Amino acid sequence: MIRFKKRSNKEFHKGEYLKHLEPKEARENFEASFPDSLKVFKDSFRRVFNALDHWDKTNLNEP
């Protein structure tokens, strides 16, 4: 993750202003526009998305 961060946020975000995305929209954007030069990190980030989805579902079921 640290190596990923060191690889220019501008390259990943392509200079766009950051905005808050809903989880579904963030995942769709991630799958559709992940840079080829950073493919080595894609599986790790997919696992993070899956863990966060699981965490959200678990926390929604608690009283």
Q: What sign does the CA torsion over 22, 23, 26, 27 have? A: negative
pLDDT at residue 27, as a whole number:
84
Q: Token pair of 31, please?
A: 């799958």
Q: pTM for the full model?
A: 0.53
Query: What would the pLDDT profile of 19-57 be if each residue is shown by its tens digit?
Result: 667 778 888 888 888 888 888 999 998 998 889 888 877
The pLDDT confidence band at residue 4, using thresholds 50, 70 and 90, is: low
Q: Computed over its alpha carbons, how large is the radius of gyration of the chain?
A: 14
- pLDDT of 17 over the 70 cut: no
Q: How far apart are CA 39 and CA 59, in angstroms?
A: 31
